[in-house]
């Protein structure tokens, strides 16, 4: 979205310098490698770079204006917006772009499942909107990624934005909701992610609930304790979703709606006036993924998409890359790569799905989970104990490998079936020496441990 210059200056509180050379509208860019002639370059900072060091390069590549917070980074003769802090300005520009967008915005957050729910929802919405849906790429769900998405949207090309919102600090969700202003918000669950940074479960819950700070209609998980406790605080009754062998208790009062995947193949959509059931075939495993689909399905219904076209889309749905990817190696060994990231609830869900894989032996490689704070030891032990009943052999690595092992032993897994490994190379070596073609291997852990290296070594 091109933001008119006057609106951009007002939104950011900028001082406009060399105004005579300023473009009439801003097309914001933060990367000199992809900048196009006429763009406005916003000089963001990262952990290892400062965009102010590249303002001259941005101008050389065609930038018509700069957004900076260091006056000395200006380029002579080129218009500049001098702001207090460039990231805040970038977010303000995104908020201004959102003001100009006339379509629907639906936002998704939660401790687990938000990227998969986002992917399912974007695919489902194709039933009604075709290619006029713009969704967060990969998991670019922080301040920069959300702002970039809002600035990419145009009324000419898009009818719906699907915004994935992440949180690593207390209050992050509400800050992004302030610029995205969703009409509908999907909260997948409130679990245990980022406890170390957020500070406590209460603060984590409060952060996730920021999704509804601007009055978005709520889509909530009927099996999520925090959502059930807080639902009464909402202005409108939520649209509940669920997945499982049994349906949750359902209040059939006016305004209540439940969309659920009951068991393996039954889709139920119910409100006070009717119950609709359909048999569906899901092209992916896992109860947690059924819950993600139920959330996405509910969001699409809230956007006004008819049920039948959505049902027809289900067989074609695909999981995002890195989520329970089944990889067949040349030696016949099957590997399940689910190591895009990990927290306790997501790892437990992956183990439950893995336990149903047909194989002579189920071998799990668990790398440690990050940012769990004071509960790190206890949560790793809990996951280890859960794994004990679902795998035949457990390889453990990372900072909390001993906690995984301690939990697995307490859960009844024999010590000789628990294998500590120090590196991915060591894990790959063990698998090469011990895994058979009729085994199946699960790789699950936080992104920092780069478990894809195990797959790469096994392919050599």
CA nearest to 325, candidates 265, 297, 284, 371: 284
Tokens linked to 19 = 């105004």
Domain that residue 302 falls in: 101-316
Please state, in angstroms and as integers, the Cα–Cα distance from residue 88 to each residue in 129, 144, 352, following that order.
32, 10, 42
pLDDT at 371: 76
Cα(374)–Cα(124) distance, rounded to whole angstroms?
39
Q: What CATH number corresponds to the domain at position 9?
A: 3.40.1390.10
R_g over Cα of the chain: 24
| Whether residues 345 and 411 fall in one domain | yes
Q: What is the DSSP string of 253-280?
A: STT-EEEEEETTTEEEEEESS-EEEEE-
Which residue reads 């050379």 in tokens?
21
Q: Would you say residue 92 lies in a domain?
A: no
One digit per residue, pLDDT tens: the chain, 460 residues?
Answer: 999 999 999 999 999 999 999 999 999 999 999 999 999 999 999 888 999 999 999 999 999 999 999 999 999 999 999 999 999 999 999 999 999 999 999 999 998 899 999 999 999 999 999 999 999 998 899 999 999 999 999 999 999 999 999 988 889 999 999 999 999 999 999 976 656 556 677 888 999 999 999 999 999 999 999 999 999 999 999 999 999 988 887 666 667 899 999 988 999 999 878 899 999 999 999 999 999 999 999 999 999 999 999 999 999 999 998 899 999 998 889 999 998 878 898 899 999 999 999 999 999 999 999 878 788 999 999 999 999 999 999 999 999 999 999 999 999 999 999 999 999 999 999 999 999 999 999 999 999 999 999 999 999 8
| Whether residues 280 and 344 fall in one domain | no
| Whether residues 289 and 339 fall in one domain | no
Cα(5)–Cα(11) distance, rounded to whole angstroms?
10
Domain boundary among 281, 316, 351: 316
Domain boundary among 284, 316, 348: 316
Q: What CATH number corresponds to the domain at position 299?
A: 3.40.1190.10
The domain total for the chain is: 3
Cα(128)–Cα(136) distance, rounded to whole angstroms?
19
| Whether residues 258 and 285 fall in one domain | yes
Q: Would you say residue 333 lies in a domain?
A: yes
| Whether residues 251 and 304 fall in one domain | yes
pLDDT at 197: 55
| Whether residues 71 and 219 fall in one domain | no
Virtual torsion, Cα 81, 86, 87, 93, nearest 10 deg: 0
Cα(33)–Cα(181) distance, rounded to whole angstroms?
30
- φ, ψ of residue 45 to 5 degrees: the values are -115, 150
- Rounded (5°) CA angle 131-137-142: 135
Collapsing DSSP to helix, strand or coil, 299 comes out as helix
pLDDT at 254: 61
CA nearest to 276, candidates 298, 307, 249: 307
Q: What is the DSSP string of 140-168?
A: --SHHHHHHHHHH--TTT-SEEEEE---S
Question: Is 125 in contact with 160 (CB distance < 8 Å)?
Answer: yes
Cα(188)–Cα(224) distance, rounded to whole angstroms?
8
Tokens linked to 3 = 């933001």
Do strands 15-17 and 217-221 pair parallel, antiparallel, or not at all (unpaired)? unpaired
């Amino acid at each position: 979205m091109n933001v008119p210059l006057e609106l951009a200056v007002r939104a950011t509180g900028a001082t406009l310098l060399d105004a005579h050379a300023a473009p009439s509208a801003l097309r914001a860019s933060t990367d000199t490698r992809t900048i196009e002639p006429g763009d406005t370059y916003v000089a963001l900072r990262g952990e290892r770079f400062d965009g102010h060091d590249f303002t001259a390069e941005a101008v050389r590549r065609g930038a018509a204006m700069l957004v900076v917070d260091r006056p000395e980074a200006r380029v002579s003769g080129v218009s500049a917006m001098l702001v207090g802090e460039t990231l805040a300005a970038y977010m303000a520009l995104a908020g201004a772009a959102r003001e100009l967008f006339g379509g629907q915005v639906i936002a998704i957050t939660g401790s687990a499942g938000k990227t998969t729910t986002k992917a399912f929802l974007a695919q489902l919405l194709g039933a009604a909107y075709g290619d006029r849906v713009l969704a967060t790429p990969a998991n670019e769900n922080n301040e920069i990624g959300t702002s970039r998405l809002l600035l990419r949207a145009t009324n000419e090309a898009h009818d719906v934005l699907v915004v994935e919102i992440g949180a690593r600090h207390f209050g992050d969700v509400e800050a992004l909701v302030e610029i995205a202003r969703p009409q509908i918000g999907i909260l997948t669950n409130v679990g245990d992610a980022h406890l170390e940074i957020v500070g406590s479960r209460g603060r984590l819950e409060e952060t996730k609930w920021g999704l509804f700070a601007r009055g978005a209609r709520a889509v909530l998980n009927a099996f999520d304790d925090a959502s059930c406790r807080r639902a009464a605080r909402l202005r409108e009754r939520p649209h509940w979703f669920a997945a499982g062998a049994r349906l949750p208790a359902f209040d059939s009062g006016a305004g209540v709606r439940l969309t659920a995947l009951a068991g393996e193949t039954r889709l139920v959509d119910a409100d006070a006036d009717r119950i609709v059931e359909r048999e569906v075939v899901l092209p992916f495993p896992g109860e947690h993924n059924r819950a993600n689909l139920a959330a996405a399905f509910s969001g699409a219904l809230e956007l006004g998409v008819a049920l039948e076209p959505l049902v027809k889309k289900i067989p074609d749905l695909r999981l995002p890359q890195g989520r329970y990817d089944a990889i067949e190696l040349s030696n016949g060994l099957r590997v399940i790569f689910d190591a895009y990231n990990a927290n306790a609830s997501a790892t437990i869900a992956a183990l439950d799905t893995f336990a149903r894989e047909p194989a002579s032996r189920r071998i799990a490689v668990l790398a440690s989970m990050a940012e769990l704070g004071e509960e790190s030891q206890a949560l790793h032990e809990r996951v280890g104990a859960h794994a004990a009943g679902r795998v035949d052999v457990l390889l453990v690595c990372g900072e909390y490998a001993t906690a995984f092992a301690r939990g697995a032993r307490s859960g009844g897994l024999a010590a000789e079936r628990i294998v500590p490994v120090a590196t991915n190379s060591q894990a790959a070596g063990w698998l090469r020496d011990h895994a058979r073609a009729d085994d199946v291997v699960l790789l699950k852990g936080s992104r920092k441990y780069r478990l894809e290296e195990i797959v790469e070594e096994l392919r050599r």
